[in-house]
């Protein structure tokens, strides 16, 4: 999932899908990319479990599946707590060193 979100175009697509379903064409529109390139981006997001695509005739409608984002948030929260603790310890160390 992190690989899928590493690309700014895919992050923008996910952000757009947070507002509701979009066709691949609608996802491509704000970007200087072809429909084929947009479809490739959507496939990467699908493989990461972030997007579900429904084919309605010639239209490919995409919707966001936010469950993997929740799992990633939990994963990142661990590191947020870790680094907050490390920075707090550094602050205590620096403060103690400044005392005469």
- Predicted local confidence at residue 100, as pLDDT: 67
Domain ranges of the chain: 1-65, 67-100
The Cα–Cα gap between 98 and 33 comes to 55
Question: Is residue 29 within a helix (H) or strand (E), and if so which, with residue range?
Answer: none
Q: Does residue 64 contact residue 14 with C-beta atoms inside 8 Å? A: yes
Question: Per CATH, is 1-65 categorized as 1.10.10.10?
Answer: yes
DSSP one-letter string for 54-89: EEETTEEEEEE--HHHHHHHHHHHHHHHHHHHHHHH
- Predicted local confidence at residue 9, as pLDDT: 97
Secondary structure of residue 48 in the 3-state scheme: coil
The Cα–Cα gap between 77 and 83 comes to 10
Burial (CB count <10 Å: 0-12, 13-18, 19+), residue 82? exposed
pLDDT tens-digit series, residues 4-42: 999 999 999 999 999 999 999 999 999 999 999 999 999
Q: What mean pLDDT value characterizes the chain?
A: 93
pLDDT tens-digit series, residues 36-88: 999 999 999 999 999 999 999 999 999 999 988 888 888 888 888 889 989 99
- Rounded percentage of the chain residues whose pLDDT exceeds 70: 98
Structural tokens at position 29: 């529109």
| Residue 98 pLDDT class (50, 70, 90 cuts) | confident
């Amino acid at each position: 999932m992190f690989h899928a979100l590493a690309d700014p175009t895919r992050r923008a697509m996910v952000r757009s899908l947070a507002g509701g379903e979009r066709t691949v064409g609608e996802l491509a529109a704000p970007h200087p990319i072809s429909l084929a390139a947009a479809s490739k981006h959507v496939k990467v997001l699908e493989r990461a479990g972030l997007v579900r695509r429904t084919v309605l005739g010639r239209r490919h409608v995409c919707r966001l599946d936010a469950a993997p984002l929740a799992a990633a948030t939990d994963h990142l929260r661990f590191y947020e707590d870790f680094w907050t603790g490390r920075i707090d310890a550094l602050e205590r160390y620096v403060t103690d060193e400044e005392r005469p």
